[in-house]
Amino acid sequence: MGSSIRYTTAAFWELLKGTTTRAKITVVTEDDETVEYDDEFCLAIANNIITAAKGMKMAPEAKLDDGLIDLLLVRTSSSFDLMQLFRKLYDGTHTG
């Protein structure tokens, strides 16, 4: 398996398992507001570029030179929801 296939397969497998972990995440927004997330999360990814692996647009609004880290937090552990999310990662329509 090529490295991008391994990454995609591993991500897909983790999403199918649907396990969550309790986490407390504090971020400072670009408007200097502090926001805290204290919840169960299935997935947390921080990117400063749009893609991860081969073509997965994890952070479609990310810009390498804006000084920000884009944070993707997924709360749901429903296999159906996660399958829909996984499919949308390739065109960047999963945010929102």
pLDDT per residue as tens digits for the range 64-78: 999 889 998 988 778
In tens, the pLDDT along 16-64 reads 787 888 999 999 998 999 999 999 998 888 989 998 877 888 899 999 9
Share the mean pLDDT of the chain. 85
Contacts of 28 (CB under 8 A, 6+ apart): 34, 35
* Number of domains the chain is built from: 1
What pTM value is reported for the model? 0.72
pLDDT given at position 2: 57
> Does residue 44 sit within a domain?
yes
d(CA 54, CA 20): 25
The total number of residues shown for the chain amounts to: 96
d(CA 32, CA 74): 23
Q: Which residue range is the domain that position 66 belongs to?
A: 3-88
> Does residue 95 sit within a domain?
no
> Does residue 96 sit within a domain?
no
Helices 3-17 & 79-88, crossing angle to 10 degrees?
Answer: 150
> Does residue 93 sit within a domain?
no
> Does residue 21 sit within a domain?
yes
pLDDT given at position 39: 95
